[in-house]
Amino acid sequence: MVRILAIESSCDETAAAVIADGREILSNVISSQIDIHTLYGGVVPEIASRKHMERIKRVVDRALADAGTELSDVDAIAVTSGPGLVGALLVGVSYAKGLAFAGRKPLIGVHHIEGHVCANFLNRPSLEPPFPCLIVSGGHTTLARVTGYGEYEVLGRSRDDAAGEAFDKVARALGLPYPGGPAIDKLSCEGNPEAIEFPHAKVDGSEYDFSFSGLKSAVLNHLNSCRMQGQEVATADVAASFQKAVIDVLLSHSMLALERSGDKRFALAGGVSANRHLRAAFEEACKERGVELICPEPVLCTDNAAMIGAAAYIEYQKGHFSDLDLNAYPALRLGERP
């Protein structure tokens, strides 16, 4: 059995996990900073880095203890090396390098978005490529086909805001707390998704790329015009209609990719894929097409280190290890190696 200790600190969760053979979670510890960043309406990078510094030792120690393992028992140390907030990434990378050096263990730098995709291997241990996957997080919106282990064909990505970023910005305009995605998800249950017709942006020159900044502006314009006319804002209707516009676009591009590839499975990944309405819409569309929808459980959709361990196992098997000069790479694209 190959045991990998994985560390994740790319944004506002300090996380560590121990994963066996890339598919079994022996421990999964997540220390969230959301309560602190909520006070500021979003992630404050310097505070995130400082909180990672304070918490990382306890989180890693707990992950080892929960797995009933010691550092000497693990086969490799994995860490998210990008993309993400540079100061936040550096904390995890430095700590992992220290552990690898002290414990004489191989080090594996992991791509955060590959981690999100690989959360699906934890959820469904029998899953094998190829399959198309929609990755929707706070920093990324990417439609890709997983053509092999660690191999990706990127079909489309957002030209501007990521889907999660749009959720967070619209939530803020509606006076909802950070992170906006879960707040809009909840409020939408009380609203009418057909109440307001927001634009479904098409992107010139690509059938698969996304654009969410126009949708965000349309929501802000709607709120402004309501306020200027002295009308009360139907917050739940705005939330539900905005959410529907995002889901419609994500779904139509994804189903187009699925129809063209002829795959019989489709995977979701990233924080936004925890959205109940999005999951239900994809579930229904896949069912109609006789396609199996694969989707991590919500705690594995948002940032965690278990997914980093799952992605690291693929690198471990290929013998792709990092040197102790591994750095943080804040703008790494899917499939790119530092």
Alpha helices of the chain — where are they, by DSSP H?
34-38, 45-66, 86-103, 112-123, 163-173, 180-188, 213-228, 235-261, 276-288, 298-301, 306-318
Q: How far apart are CA 43 and CA 177, in angstroms?
A: 12
Instruction: Note whether 254 binds Zn ion by CB under 5 A.
Output: no
Please name which of 116, 130, 193 lies closest in space to residue 162, comparing C-alpha atoms.
116
**Under rule CB under 6 A, which residues in 265-294 are in contact with ligand KG4?**
270-272, 274-275
217 vs 225 by CB, closer to ligand KG4:
217
Instruction: Note whether 254 binds ligand KG4 by CB under 6 A.
Output: no
Q: Shortest Cβ distance from residue 126 to ligand KG4 (Å)?
A: 24
User: Burial of 25 by CB count in 10 Å (0-12 exposed, 13-18 middle, 19+ buried)?
Assistant: buried
Instruction: Note whether 14 binds ligand KG4 by CB under 6 A.
Output: no
Q: How far apart are CA 219 and CA 314, in angstroms?
A: 42
Q: How far apart are CA 78 and CA 166, in angstroms?
A: 31
Tell me which of 87, 182, 191, 309 binds ligand KG4, using CB under 6 A.
182
Tell me which of 9, 80, 158, 302 binds ligand KG4, using CB under 6 A.
302
Instruction: Note whether 138 binds ligand KG4 by CB under 6 A.
Output: yes
Tell me which of 164, 191, 296, 309 binds ligand KG4, using CB under 6 A.
164
Radius of gyration of the chain (CA): 20
Q: How far apart are CA 135 and CA 119, in angstroms?
A: 11
Q: Enter the tokens of residue 272.
A: 């936004």
182 binds, among Zn ion, ligand KG4, none (CB under 5 to 8 A by kind): ligand KG4
235 vs 261 by CB, closer to ligand KG4:
235
Instruction: Note whether 81 binds Zn ion by CB under 5 A.
Output: no
Q: Shortest Cβ distance from residue 227 to ligand KG4 (Å)?
A: 24
186 vs 260 by CB, closer to ligand KG4:
186
226 vs 293 by CB, closer to ligand KG4:
293
273 binds, among ligand KG4, Zn ion, none (CB under 5 to 8 A by kind): none
Angstrom CA distances, 243 to 186, 187, 210, stand at: 11, 10, 15
Tell me which of 8, 114, 161, 185 binds ligand KG4, using CB under 6 A.
185
How many positions of this chain bind ligand KG4 (CB under 6 A)? Answer: 19
Instruction: Note whether 137 binds ligand KG4 by CB under 6 A.
Output: yes
SS3 label, residue 116: helix
CB–CB of 325/93 below 8 Å? Answer: no
Residues in contact with Zn ion by the rule CB under 5 A: 137, 303
Residues in contact with ligand KG4 by the rule CB under 6 A: 11, 137-139, 164, 167-168, 179-182, 185, 270-272, 274-275, 302-303
